[in-house]
């Protein structure tokens, strides 16, 4: 089971390795926008929306990688002093009762909108913007799937830890 969890982790490691470049691209794009606006007096809705798309991709696709690294915000007032097995029980409850169901619901209810958006290849948000709203909407199910994958990996590791296997 540990090897299966490692395989699941590889998915988010690969996505995280690619998505982290979105942060650099977003900063460079924003710098270019500011430079064009204040030095050359030129503005572009397309460029502005590009920053929005990169920002959305960075956070939506990077959420699973962040969970893998343990970077999500956690309130450790009660959790920190717990034993490893008690932490595993709390985490299993969180995965099974909170994270996995809420992501499943989000995936279920967002899918029709994403499907319709792809069916018509939905255009830009604003006139002159990036002509690919369907890609932006696709980040929602991708977010859900990547977090579900990482949640399953974490659940497997917590069950192993609870059983004394890790």
What DSSP string runs through 57-90?
Answer: HHHHHHHHHHHHHT-S----TTTTTS-HHHHHHH
Cβ(88)–Cβ(148) under 8 Å?
A: no
Q: What is the pLDDT along the chain (166 residues), one digit of tens a residue?
A: 889 999 999 999 999 999 999 999 999 999 999 999 999 999 999 999 999 999 999 999 999 999 999 888 777 788 888 898 999 999 999 999 999 999 999 999 999 999 999 999 999 988 999 999 999 999 999 999 999 999 999 999 999 998 875 5
Instruction: Output the CA angle 43-45-51, nearest 5 degrees.
Output: 100
Q: What is the pTM of this model?
A: 0.88
Other Cβ atoms closer than 10 A to 103: 18
């Amino acid at each position: 089971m540990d090897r299966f969890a490692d395989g699941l982790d590889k998915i988010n490691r690969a996505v995280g390795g690619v998505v982290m470049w979105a942060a650099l691209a977003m900063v460079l794009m924003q710098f270019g926008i500011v430079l064009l606006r204040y030095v050359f007096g030129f503005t572009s809705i397309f460029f502005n929306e590009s920053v929005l798309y990169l920002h959305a991709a960075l956070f939506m696709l990077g959420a699973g990688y962040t969970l893998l690294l343990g970077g999500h915000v956690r309130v450790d007032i009660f959790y920190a002093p717990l034993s490893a097995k008690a932490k595993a029980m709390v985490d299993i409850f969180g995965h099974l009762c909170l994270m996995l169901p809420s992501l499943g619901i989000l995936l279920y209810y967002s899918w029709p909108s994403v499907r319709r958006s792809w069916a018509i290849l939905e255009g830009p948000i604003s006139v002159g913007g990036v002509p690919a709203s369907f890609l932006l909407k696709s980040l929602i199910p991708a977010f859900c799937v990547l977090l579900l994958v990482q949640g399953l990996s974490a659940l497997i590791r917590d069950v192993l830890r609870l059983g004394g296997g890790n």
